[in-house]
Structure 1
């Protein structure tokens, strides 16, 4: 198996269904999906059971009881359930373009993680997208999006499929090469070396934090923001806490200053 895709979700079956159609439409099929489920109701389990037979490899559903926002914990559990040595992290609200998996595999390189981005959709467009729009690839078409609620601006250039332009934009973009939970791939061994995600972290920078510890380990990043494309479906963020965000920021600042590599509260507790 070439790759394991870890998809986080929590009680969002409508969005997750659209995302799974995106993975059914991939040009590369030799991958598994591991759902990191942060305590959803049985509706998510039912949806996964419907989709699982459609893939080359059975979907792995990693679930724990709902105890509030515990994304780092469920991600660590999911990492240990993967079968491949190379992992792609994304969210259950990000529809992948048909070359998404293939692009990550194309650019993988030992000693690096790949830093991708997303194209954010408004709620109107997010609701409009149906199975047929995903399988036909219309929802990745600039003109289709412009006709269906997306404002025409420079951000649409992310969806241009012209190799010289993609290489140029990845080179000049001012966006930093960070570990992004919605679109990043790396070697499992590198994650194990830093002891996975820091379970002291709540929402806000938890993915950046693990990337920063990987930098301290000596792992570098490659920019694929304009090459690995996914559409981010709009949703509310009731779990956001300003207080927790600043606590996370302090952890990150300490790690950078002290060149911290491993977290004490990570995936080793599940081994």
Structure 2
């Protein structure tokens, strides 16, 4: 049997002013069975405390740990992700949020499942508030299989043989996904001009880029029972911008848009 040759990979972590969660996330990355070639923290305006944490972990990481920061001008996730992607040096982009603890085979699973002409979207296990508090207090980089308190425990069962059963999306959920657990070929992100920076405030930036990738001919691959993440509980963010962002999403779908009107190109010129 010929082993699959894995692409080089950049793991991008979006974060904002929650160093306790970021520390747990970084510790889980250090436990990975296969490290990415680089880790890039996409920081949407955090304070010095987050910078100090990253500097401490830069001395511990066996691969480059890069900090990409922008001033706090409100929720600008699309912009900071574009800046991080512009800095990335690798073929494959694995994207997470800093409120996640990664299964030790997370990166390996995403690389194993990488296929040309596809982008991947995974799921998450939502941890209880009580268990999350314990993990944060202890700065743990591992979530225990036997201490889950969650409504979706099945998402935490790593059964690679079942993963292929979920690879194709249903027609009614083609644009549904979790932006906190995705993976793309960098060249495909470049082809659609990255994230649409017209989307500001919480929500829909991940659905919108998925719509444009699909319009470009890139297939969505649903990943279940592999590439597992555990989501640290937090209160939901304000969703005042959802109606406006929904309009931008629907425009991309109805007009079959491919290229973001305000996207990654500016950041590529500066990086």
* Same structural fold, with TM-score higher than 0.5 when normalized by the shorter chain: yes
1:81 aligned to which of 79, 84, 87 = 87
In structure 1, how many angstroms separate the alpha carbons of the residues matched to 2:175 and 2:22? Answer: 26
Spell out, residue by residue over 1:114-157, the C-alpha distance to the aligned partner (whole angstroms, 9 max, x if none): 1111111122111112698956x5x241x222xxxx15x5x212
Give yes or no for the alignment of 1:248 onto 2:245: yes
Which residue of the partner structure matches residue 258 of structure 2?
261
Selected match of 2:154 from 149, 157, 176: 157
- Give the one of 49, 72, 75 matched to 1:43: 49
Q: Is the 8 A contact 1:115 1:178 kept in 2?
A: no
Give the conservation status (yes or no) of the 8 Å contact 2:118–2:218.
yes
- 1:68-96 CA-to-partner distances (Å, cap 9, x unmatched) read 11111111111111111110111010111
Task: Assess if the C-alpha contact under 8 Å between 2:168 and 2:220 holds in 1.
Answer: no
Aligned 1:174-185 pairs, distance under 5 A? 176=174, 178-185=176-183
Q: For 2:222 and 2:228, locate their aligned partners in 1 and report how far apart those are by CA, in whole Å.
A: 12
Q: Please, which moves more after superposition, 162-171 or 104-113?
A: 162-171
CA RMSD of aligned residues (A): 2.3
Q: Which runs of 5+ in 1 are unaligned?
A: none
Q: Which residue of 1 aligns with 2:208?
A: 209
Number of aligned residue pairs: give it: 260
Cα displacement (A) at 1:261: 0.2
Alignment of 1:36-185 (within 5 A): 36-129=42-135, 134=140, 137=142, 139-141=143-145, 143-145=146-148, 150-151=149-150, 155-168=152-165, 176=174, 178-185=176-183
Q: 1:237, CA displacement in angstroms?
A: 3.7
Q: TM-score, normalised by structure 1?
A: 0.88
For residues 187-226 of structure 1, the aligned pairs below 5 Å read: 187-202=185-200, 203-226=202-225
Q: Do the aligned partners of 2:12 and 2:94 also contact (CA within 8 Å) in 1?
A: yes
**Residue deviations 1:145-185 (CA, integer Å, cap 9, x gap):** 2xxxx15x5x2122223344444466799965745321110
SS at match of 1:250: helix
Match in the other structure for 1:9: 15
Secondary structure of the corresponding residue to residue 84 of structure 1: coil
Q: Counterparts of 1:157 and 1:133 in 2: how far apart (Å)?
A: 25
CA distance in 2, matches of 1:157, 1:178: 19
1:170–1:226 contact (8 Å) kept in structure 2: no
1-side partners of 2:90 and 2:117: how far apart? 17
Structure 2 residue ranges without an equivalent (≥5): 1-6
TM-score of the aligned structures, taking structure 2 as reference length = 0.88
Larger helix fraction of residues = 1
Q: Distance in 1 between matches of 2:85 and 2:178?
A: 16
Deviates more, 1:50-59 or 1:185-194: 50-59
